[in-house]
A = this chain, B = another copy of it.
């Protein structure tokens, strides 16, 4: 808890620049979530500038939600610049397994981008190991528990911290396994909550070299903010609004009250 509060303070003081190459659906949400938590978001995807942008950023977030060839090219270039600059690369394999193109792109991302953290739902994480499985769109159809073994294997194989989000979130580096039980079922009715978790992971990874802990902090903050938001929400519309307010208002008192040990 001390480390979480310390890192939240750091995000707000340093306001790390998080470079996002992400999908059209969630850009607005993720930019707003990063601002609300205290980070400084930038969205830039042109091959003409992603290397320069990544090199002045504190972390790089790659999300293939609405992928197309020129965006994948940009992600590969940005990842190379990020590794050169020594900043973490967070990868969100949205819809992995849904189409052959998406699976093939995921394979390229794992091999050529060498992500530092991978965050997906259970279906996506399992699909990264088994591209023949078909996910139903971008929602999770497998339980997060059943994917823990896949996550550990994926972490060991890639060297990345792997995060599965779901009713219970799991964070693993292949040996350590942490879980977060905070959150609310209605969060799955707001588009881009998973993508937002990935972006927020970018903010915490920018201030903590222990990427397992950084990911745990990000998922905890997401879960707590979601719970606080749900108390005042009548549906997914108000949940989304309350969620940004909750991220903005989070402090040690609220965290101590809500985080389940």
A191 on interface, CB distance cutoff 8 Å: yes
For A99, what are the chain B residues with a Cβ–Cβ distance below 8 Å? Answer: 44, 49, 52-53, 56
Contacting B at CB under 8 A, from A206-261, are: 233-238, 240-249
For A233, what are the chain B residues with a Cβ–Cβ distance below 8 Å? Answer: 245
Residue among A29, A99, A101, A188 facing the most chain B CB atoms (10 A cut-off): A99
Smallest CB separation, A38 vs chain B (Å): 9
A95 on interface, CB distance cutoff 8 Å: yes
For A137, what are the chain B residues with a Cβ–Cβ distance below 8 Å? Answer: 17, 40-42, 57
A85 on interface, CB distance cutoff 8 Å: no
* Interchain CA distance A242-B234 in the complex, whole Å: 9
For chain A, give the interface size range: 35 or more
* Interchain CA distance A101-B45 in the complex, whole Å: 12
Once the chains bind, are A190 and B35 in contact (CB under 8 Å)? yes
Once the chains bind, are B100 and A52 in contact (CB under 8 Å)? yes
For A27, what are the chain B residues with a Cβ–Cβ distance below 8 Å? Answer: 24-25, 66
A3 on interface, CB distance cutoff 8 Å: no
For A156, what are the chain B residues with a Cβ–Cβ distance below 8 Å? Answer: none
Once the chains bind, are B69 and A46 in contact (CB under 8 Å)? yes
Contacting B at CB under 8 A, from A59-100, are: 65-70, 95, 98-100
Residues of A within 8 A of B (CB): 15, 17, 23-29, 31-32, 35-36, 40-46, 48-49, 52-53, 56-57, 65-70, 95, 98-102, 134, 136-139, 188-192, 233-238, 240-249
A-B contact pairs, 23 of them (CB 8 A): A17-B136, A24-B24, A24-B43, A25-B31, A25-B43, A36-B236, A40-B139, A43-B66, A46-B67, A46-B68, A46-B69, A48-B69, A48-B101, A49-B99, A49-B101, A52-B100, A53-B98, A56-B134, A234-B245, A235-B248, A235-B249, A236-B244, A237-B242
